Structure formats: C-alpha cells, structure tokens
Amino acid sequence: MLTQTIPAYLYTQYADDQDLQAFVQAINNLQQQYVDLFNSLNLPIYTGDAISGDLLDWVAEGLYGITRQPLPSGSSHAIGPIATIPFGKYPFGMYKLLGPANYYVTNDDVFKRIITWHFFKGDGKVFNIRWLKRRIMRFLNGVNGTDYNIDQTYQVSVTFGTGNQVNIRILSGFTKYINGAIGTYAFGTQAFGRANLQIQHLTPIQLAPILKSAIQAGVLELPFQYTYIVTV
C-alpha cells in the first residue's frame, strides 16, 4: 500500500524563490494529506465512524450494491372492494392500494445494520432457527452494524405456522406459573382461576419496530418461500 507520495520540486532556476518553494511545499503537504486520508478511511469497513452520510451511501452502493431506503411505519390497505369505502364514493371496479403515510428515518446506524444483515458470513449459509435468531439479535444490538457478541437469543422467539408462515416475536419478558387456587388454598378462600405468576421483565429493545418494518418491507434479505409475521 502506498503511504508516501513522490514530492514535487522546483527547477533549479527557481530554487531560490522562497514564495515558489512555499507553494510547492504546500502542494506536497496537501497530496500527503489526501493519501493519509484514504489510507485511514478503509472504505470496505463501513462500521467505522469515518464512513457516514453521503460517503456511506457511496460505499454501500458502489461496493455492496445496497441503497438506503425509507422504512414504512404501518401497513398498506386497499380501497375499492365492497365494504372498504362509503357506497357511491367511487365507481364499481375501482381499486387502489394506499401505502403507509409515515416512515422511519434510515439513519447511518440502521443502514449499517442492514448492510451487516446482508453480508455477515459467520452464521453460515443454511437458513434455520439459529441462523435467523442470531441475525435478529445482531441487528437489534450491533451498533453501527458491528458483530455483537451473541451469547444467548432468549429474547427472540421463532415458530413456524401453516402455509410456510414464520412467526417472529421480540419478547419483553418471561412469565412463570407458581401456583393456583385449586390444591393450594383452602376451599372458598380464593377465586377459581386465580394464579400466582412470576414475571421477569427484559430490557426493552428500541429498534424492534424498525426490525419489523425492515422485514415486512423486504429490506432485510430472507428466503422468499416463507411469509414472515413480526410481533413486537
């Protein structure tokens, strides 16, 4: 890797001109600053603080083929079919799909997490529950797309339903059954159906709604054979 530039110099007949010498020295210093800057940027390493804003967009599209997209907050709904609008407001057979009115801002932090979701190779290439849960935990906790140290994935629940449906739940806590009215208390002292529960609250994850939006909008790459339902 080039670390030093070849300096410019004056012809001998101008070597005694202090102003020209200062000008050439300034050019050499500026060239060296550019070389040092590009060496320190390390463009492929987008997780660093130096890659941000428009430069991040350029790196993401130029090196990784990903563009920054807004994430919808809400869901689309159709108008036109019967019972969706007041009678007589629109002609029969009219159909229109209205998208969400609000969007999340895809800031640099979220955008870097999206890039990492697409290109992180440490989870392997086989789609399974472990692969998906680790992907989700890394997106939720890896600041600026860094490789978050995933020691457990208890806060993410993944189940499979009918019709290739994948249910993803971001848990806010766990509930443990302790005891109930029957067989524990004297008859008539407690209401039927009473249960004593132990609730363990988990740290809320602020990016959970953004994860849901990114999955539903197709921004986060997942196998297309499945339908994903995210609950936060």
Tell me the sheet residues that pair with 197.
Answer: 177
The Cα–Cα gap between 143 and 84 comes to 42
Which residue shows structure tokens 């990016």?
Answer: 207
**Residue 185: pLDDT over 70:** no
CA distances from 183 to 18, 27, 178, 196, 197 (A): 100, 89, 12, 13, 16
What was the pLDDT predicted at 82? 67
* Contact call for residues 204 and 172 (beta carbons, < 8 A): yes
Between 183 and 224, name the one with better pLDDT.
Answer: 224
Instruction: Map tokens 């019967």 to a residue.
Output: 82
Rounded average pLDDT over 109-131: 94
What SS3 string covers 63-90?
HHCCCCCCEEECCCEEECCCCCCCCCCC
At 105, list the tokens.
Answer: 């801002």
Q: What's CA 117's distance to the chain center, in Å?
A: 7
The number of residues making up the chain comes to 232
Q: What is the pLDDT of residues 78-102, one digit of tens each?
A: 776 666 667 667 777 677 766 666 7
Q: What is the pLDDT of residues 21-51, one digit of tens each?
A: 999 999 999 999 999 988 888 888 999 888 9
Element (H or E) spanning 33, and its range? Answer: helix 18-41
